[in-house]
């Protein structure tokens, strides 16, 4: 029975990925991608990774679905309703690159399978070192304490993505067009309930993340989902300038994380050492704020946000 479930999920994922990418109808591809996200959450659940199932839920249901829908709307609004005809040469090149990439991925996968010996030494070392940190969730331990350079770089990559999107969109356009705001009574009632709830759930996920599955990434994604909801309902609007508060929110994760690490270096500890559980919470809170702000701004496609409409 277990095998049947896993095989069904695996086949479903491959078929959904193929259907999301294959041509035909653009909207069908978007819906297939949304369903792919749902199935991916099930796959993580089966693999015993509730943390990743949560992240998939928050990102997939809260941000990507709406982002793709709005991108579809923008494509049509900008008059790109017909996809450009494909060139045969490009298709052949893509096939070659695709095959080479698959071979590379397969080789890395094989190497990874062979590299991990029975028992997993890193896992044992983690289990031995975790109680001393006061954390109960091994994933938070790895992300914030044991392998925190990787996490710091991930937060920096998000910041870089925002800067790159600003560079790509340029300053001439204040913001990409958004569909007219939904101000139906039902949407207003939903926002009144859901927007405070996203903040509450984000703080819960952050707090729970030290002992149970959860953490800054999931919490930040939930916060971002709240921001996306406010934008769709017309309570938040894209703005041409990034306010001071938003600037602080954007860099908070990178600055606080590296700041704590550098202060520890000055105190004679190794670089990026984390002094205690309070520092873990401090870093995770800053990361949550940065992740939420960056995702909302990437969704808006604008430099900043404001409560008032531009036009």
Partner 1 sequence: MSLLLPALVVFLLLNLVAGLWRVFLGPTAADRMLSALLFGSTTVAMLLVLAQWQQSPALRIAALLFVMLAAITSIAFVALTQGRVAARRAPAPPVEPRQ
Closest to partner 1 by CB, 86 vs 247, is 86
Q: Give me the least distance between CB of 261 and partner 1, in Å please.
A: 29
Least distance to partner 1, CB of residue 30, Å: 8
Q: Which is nearer to partner 1, 229 or 289 (CB)?
A: 229
Among residues 32 and 289, whose Cβ is nearest to partner 1?
32
Closer CB to partner 1, 194 or 248, in the complex: 194
Residue whose CB is less far from partner 1, 236 or 279: 236
Least distance from partner 1 to the Cβ atom of residue 17, Å: 13
**Smallest distance from partner 1 to CB 204, Å:** 9
Q: Whose Cβ is closer to partner 1: residue 54's or residue 291's?
A: 54
Write down the least CB distance from residue 109 to partner 1, Å: 25
Q: Which residues bind partner 1 (CB under 8 A)?
A: 1-2, 4-5, 8-9, 12, 15-16, 19, 24-25, 27-28, 31-32, 34-35, 38-39, 41-42, 45-46, 48, 50-51, 53-54, 56-58, 61-62, 65-66, 69-70, 72-73, 76-77, 81, 179-182, 187, 190, 194, 197-198, 201, 205, 208, 212-214, 218, 222, 225, 228-229, 232-233
Tell me the two tokens of residue 103: 């071979």
Q: C-beta of 218: minimal distance to partner 1 in Å?
A: 8
């Amino acid at each position: 029975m277990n095998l049947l479930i896993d095989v069904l999920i695996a086949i479903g994922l491959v078929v959904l990925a193929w259907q999301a990418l294959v041509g035909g109808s653009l909207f069908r591809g978007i819906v297939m991608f949304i369903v792919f996200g749902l199935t991916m959450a099930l796959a993580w659940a089966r693999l015993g990774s509730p943390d990743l199932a949560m992240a998939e839920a928050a990102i997939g249901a809260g941000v990507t679905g709406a982002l793709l829908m709005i991108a579809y709307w923008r494509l049509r609004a900008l008059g790109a309703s017909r996809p450009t005809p494909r060139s045969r040469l490009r298709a052949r090149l893509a096939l070659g690159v695709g095959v080479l990439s698959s071979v590379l991925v397969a080789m890395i996968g094989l190497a990874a399978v062979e590299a991990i010996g029975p028992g997993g030494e890193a896992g044992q070392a983690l289990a031995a070192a975790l109680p001393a940190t006061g954390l109960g969730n091994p994933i938070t331990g790895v992300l914030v304490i044991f392998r925190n350079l990787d996490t710091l770089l991930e937060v920096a990559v998000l910041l870089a993505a925002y800067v790159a999107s600003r560079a790509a969109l340029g300053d001439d356009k204040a913001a990409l067009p958004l569909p007219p705001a939904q101000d139906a009574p039902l949407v207003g009632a939903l926002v009144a309930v859901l927007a405070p709830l996203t903040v509450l759930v984000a703080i819960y996920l952050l707090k729970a993340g030290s002992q149970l599955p959860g953490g800054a990434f999931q919490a930040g994604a939930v916060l971002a989902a709240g921001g996306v909801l406010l934008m769709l309902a017309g309570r938040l609007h894209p703005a041409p300038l990034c306010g001071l508060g938003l600037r602080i929110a954007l860099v908070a994760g990178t600055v606080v994380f590296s700041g704590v690490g550098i202060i520890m270096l000055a105190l004679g500890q190794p670089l990026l050492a984390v002094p205690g559980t309070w520092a873990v919470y401090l870093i995770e809170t800053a990361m949550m704020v940065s992740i939420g702000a960056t995702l909302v701004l990437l969704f808006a496609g604008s430099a900043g946000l404001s409560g008032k409409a531009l036009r």
